[in-house]
Structure 1
Amino acid sequence: MSEHSDNERIADLGFARVDHDREARNGVPEVIFGEGKRAEQISAIVTCLRERHRRALVTRLDAERAECVLRDHPGGTYDPASRLLRWGEAPGRLPGRVAVICAGTSDLPVAEEAAQTLEWLGVEVARLSDVGVAGLDRLLAHRTAIARADVLIVVAGMEGALPSVVTGLVRNPVIAVPTSVGYGASLQGVTALLGMLSACATGMSVVNIDNGFGAAWQAASILGLVAHGVNPAPVDFSHNADAPGS
């Protein structure tokens, strides 16, 4: 049994405090980070989320624990490549399309984490795989499709060059994702991360190493501005330092 507080905004499970109010704040229920949690803990959090929001997403979950959680919550979809476990769908679709571009086959798990998170968030996804800079003709063959994407997520390991190339071809936002794929001097993705952060191409942002989920969230946030518009007035925070009398 969960113990609720703050007018049902938080469900206190003892080992976790499920933030039900998050959907009201940013439009999406709390997402469960699977690493470090036992299957029974994940299952209890999923129960909370599905009862309240009718959908749930677990990231970074291995197949063994996913099987245990699915015994308690049948009907979910688990993908061993992306390590995502999900139930339900977004209540509506966001406008536009995100292209998820993957440099090499070894980068696909991170790319699929991004693509499948986007789909759960209600975003149309176009996938383009194995088009790294070692063979630029593979990328340029899809130049028209790339230019038509509203947001682009570019996933690459090794030296991390692909996002800079893509950014130089398009006018829309590019989100670069370094992966830990590569030989010794790639330093588990640090080389790709630093290369992307040092890129001269304008219009590119960078997320953390192997963070396909974070890239997907950022892309969906950009499309959300198209769907809902910009805030007509500043957000009113109760402890705003600029408020009268503060």
Structure 2
Amino acid sequence: MIGTRCSKEQFEFVQERGMAAHYNETSRIISYRADLRKAPTLPGKIAVCCAGTADLPIAEEAAQTAEFFGASVSRHFDVGIAGLHRLLSKIEEIRTANVVIAIAGMEGALASVISGLTDAPVIAVPTSVGYGASFNGIAPLLSMLNSCAEGMSVVNIDNGFGAALSACRILRCANKLVQQK
């Protein structure tokens, strides 16, 4: 079981019911496995990249969700393109991923840049954080939707969970293709 956008009070409620669940304050995820077995391991790797530290809750939601469902995840935080050197210093490791989740607020340009620098599918996640005229995530959403970068898809605002599930499905489908050969 995995629950997203949970409060500390909700976690305490679950604990009071005797469930040995885990809670992460950054991602606000409660996770619990009744049978104590680990999720089946998915082949491949997902890179979770976020532009700035304000995007961390959504980035951790994506990373922890993917890990819960058995994916290997590499985290690349604070690699926004306002300081392009930060992204470029991590790009070789990001290129080893089979799927990239790019999370950004403000103008949402990170996903387009990563899509242009890698050959993996990129799942763009606009966030509702940012100053100026980000309009609670509408500005990065529109930037991502209007991007001419190839191989990029977009989920709704702040949807790290949905991006992670899509990335896991891509890994599962790729594995099925390999097994069919």
1:101 aligns with 2:49: yes
Amino acid at match of 1:94: L
Displacement of 1:141: 0.7
Unaligned runs of 5+ in 2: none
Determine helix, strand or coil for the equivalent of 1:82: coil
Name the count of aligned residue pairs. 176
Q: Which residue of structure 1 aligns with residue 61 of structure 2?
A: 113
Determine helix, strand or coil for the equivalent of 1:229: helix
Determine helix, strand or coil for the equivalent of 2:133: helix
Higher relative contact order, structure no. (Cα contacts within 8 Å, ≥ 6 residues apart): 2
1:80 to 11, 25, 29: 25
Q: Which residue of structure 2 aligns with residue 158 of structure 1?
A: 106
1:193 to 141, 149, 165: 141
Displacement of 1:111: 0.3
Q: Which residue of structure 2 aligns with residue 28 of structure 1?
A: none
1:67 aligns with 2:12: yes
Deviations 1:194-243 (A, max 9, x none): 0000001100000000000000000000001122339x8xxxxxxxxxxx
Q: Which residue of structure 2 aligns with residue 182 of structure 1?
A: 130
Determine helix, strand or coil for the equivalent of 1:219: helix
Unaligned runs of 5+ in 1: 1-55, 233-246
1:225 aligns with 2:173: yes
Q: What CA distance in whole angstroms lies between the structure 2 residues aligned with 1:139 and 1:118?
A: 22
Please report the RMSD computed on the Cα atoms of aligned residues, expressed in angstroms. 1.4
Displacement of 1:91: 3.7
Structure whose CA Rg is larger: 1
Displacement of 1:59: 1.1
Q: 1:131 to 1:91 in 2, by over 3 A?
A: closer
